[in-house]
Amino acid sequence: MRVSIFGMGYVGTVCTACLANRGHQVIGVDVVQEKVDMINQGQSPLVEPGLEELLVKGLNNSKISATTSAIEAVMETDISFISVPTPSKPNGDLNLEYVNIVCKQIAEAIKLKGKHHTVVIRSTVLPGSVMGEIRETLEEASGLEAGVGFGLAVNPEFLREGTALYDYDHPPMTVMGCLDKTSAEQLTELYSDIDAPLFVETIETAEMIKYTCNVWHAVKVAFANEIGSIAKASGVDGRKVMEIFCADKKLNISPYYMKPGFAFGGSCLPKDVRALSFRASQLDVKHPLLTSIMESNECHVNNAFKIIEQTGKRKVALYGLSFKPDTDDLRESPQVKLAEMLLGKGYQLRIYDENVSYARVHGANKDYIEHKIPHLSSLLQENKEDVLVDSELIILANGCKSFDTLLDQISDEQVLIDITGFMKEKSLGNKQGICW
């Protein structure tokens, strides 16, 4: 495939060399003449092991060239990647200045070309950027409609400095967000010889994935550093703690907890977060990440309440009171907190939880139910269907499997809010999800 890559910085130069090494014809584009000259001479404008050797190989095979001319690059290729910087503004917002400048140049060249051309955003941009400001820039300068007159896509990169060549050939996944079928087909063909899971998604999803990955990596570093600091202050080697922690691939390093849903609760997580945070304070160890965990959890409960409040419905059926399915444990259950918020705001509330109803009569939590939450205990119903009748708002509050059928039982006048993950699709009409 004939490819042009705009921006001969770290990502752009690495992609130029790697695509050429896989047999594609690549033109590198940059406004800095010195960078263009270096690439045309087989010299790398940056330090990355093995990169210069690949550039030389590409030049010798006539697979690589570089230019400062956007028109020349677009005319001679089928698809253009934009890999220019997206720095922060002073207020922390994303600066799209360089992306828009390049988009305008590419769009003007597409207008002159008179043939279909695909534009792929490789730079890291916030969700909504491509379908908003970037799309407007491209359409205004080209006089064409995105997805019709030219292709438009997002293709985030997952390269680490120092191992970029290996990462390009062995990515954890290939992600593309495409506005049109042609763009999806071109990118799929471009990556057809790379062995990695392929995800073809919406443009907004692809934009969000890149940020999610980077922020998660930042969280992991901050978490390990805070744990290490607390461990050292406690006379423990934090490296050994994290080494053993990472050996658990079933829960610690796994997808198990990495699913959007409701807040955490139960007898372990809340108290242990508070206890470790308290000990860190005693040891005079700053731990802003750990300190924020309980606040974040509280915000998520409040977010669920806001979603409920916005419906304007007052007669509520709450399915699930325990903090997770298949248990009667109500200790620090966020579902209990949500129910109490609803009662406190005057909502008419009825609750169904088979396990809690059993515990009220027979279980170990009988005393807790009778003395800690008698105001909620009196609202428990014995029949799942009875709770549904006459309710305006249905909340699926924990993951009990028997609640799955409720998705198809609600009427058009009722609103269903899923805060645990039963819905297969994202929010639409009278069915709303807390994070989807």
Q: How far apart are CA 307 and CA 392, in angstroms?
A: 14
30 is in an annotated binding site: yes
DSSP for 347-384?
Answer: -EEEEE-HHHHHHHHTSTTHHHHHHT-HHHHTTB-S-H
424 is in an annotated binding site: no
Confidence of residue 100 (pLDDT cuts 50, 70, 90): very high
Domain 2-201, CATH class in plain words: alpha beta
367 is in an annotated binding site: no
**Strand blocks (E) in 102-145:** 118-121
265 is in an annotated binding site: yes
With the CA atoms of 156, 159, 160 and 161 taken in that order, what torsion angle do they form, in degrees rounded to the nearest 10? -110
Q: What integer best gives the mean pLDDT of the chain?
A: 95
Q: How far apart are CA 177 and CA 156, in angstroms?
A: 9
Give the per-residue pLDDT at 358.
Answer: 74
Q: Which residues contact 58 (CB under 8 A, 6 or more apart)?
A: 16, 17, 20, 21, 26, 64
* Token digits of residue 267: 């007898």
DSSP-derived secondary structure letter, 255: S
Residue 329 pLDDT greater than 90, yes or no: no
35 is in an annotated binding site: yes
Distance (Å) of CA 297 to CA 152, 274, 293:
38, 12, 6
Q: Which of 178, 213, 246, 268 is catalytic?
A: 268
Q: How far apart are CA 431 and CA 436, in angstroms?
A: 10
pLDDT, average across residues 345-355: 94
Residue 361 pLDDT greater than 80, yes or no: no
324 is in an annotated binding site: yes
Contacts of 156-163 with C-beta under 8 Å, sequence gap 24+, read 156/122, 156/124, 156/206, 156/207, 156/209, 156/210, 156/213, 157/11, 157/15, 157/83, 157/122, 158/213, 159/10, 159/11, 159/14, 161/10, 161/48, 162/48, 162/49, 163/49
* Residues 64 and 20 sit within 8 Å (Cβ to Cβ): yes
1 is in an annotated binding site: no
Structure-token match 């290996």, residue found: 166
45 is in an annotated binding site: no
113 is in an annotated binding site: no
Confidence of residue 47 (pLDDT cuts 50, 70, 90): very high
* Token digits of residue 236: 């423990």
271 is in an annotated binding site: yes
- Give the number of other CB atoms < 10 A from CB of residue 258: 7
Q: How far apart are CA 103 and CA 141, in angstroms?
A: 8
**Model confidence pLDDT, tens digit, residues 17-46:** 999 999 999 999 999 999 999 999 999 999
Give the per-residue pLDDT at 309.
Answer: 97
Q: Could you tell me which of 65, 71, 10 has the C-alpha nearest to residue 41? A: 65
Q: What angle do CA 431, 339, 300 make, to 5 degrees?
A: 65
Residue 362 pLDDT greater than 90, yes or no: no
- Which CATH number does the domain 297-433 belong to among 3.30.70.60, 3.40.50.720, 3.40.30.10, 3.40.190.10? 3.40.50.720
257 is in an annotated binding site: yes
Containing 6, the helix (H) or strand (E) segment is strand 2-6
Q: What's the one-letter identity of residue 150?
A: F
**Model confidence pLDDT, tens digit, residues 275-328:** 999 999 999 999 999 999 999 999 999 999 999 999 999 999 999 999 999 988
- In the chain, CATH 3.40.50.720 sits at 2-201, 297-433
Give strand pairing partners of 120: 81, 153
420 is in an annotated binding site: no
* Residues 182 and 148 sit within 8 Å (Cβ to Cβ): no
For 13, phi then psi, to 5°, come to -70, -40
Q: How far apart are CA 143 and CA 159, in angstroms?
A: 34
DSSP-derived secondary structure letter, 189: H
Q: How far apart are CA 351 and CA 379, in angstroms?
A: 6
23 is in an annotated binding site: no
Containing 21, the helix (H) or strand (E) segment is helix 10-21
First to last CA, the chain: 37
Give the per-residue pLDDT at 367.
Answer: 78
H helix runs in 130-202, sequence order: 135-142, 164-169, 181-190
Least confidently predicted of 84-93, 146-155, 206-215, 378-387: 378-387
- Our answer to whether residue 15 is catalytic in this structure is no
Q: Does the pTM of the predicted model rise above 0.85?
A: yes
Q: How far apart are CA 117 and CA 18, in angstroms?
A: 22
Residue 363 pLDDT greater than 70, yes or no: no
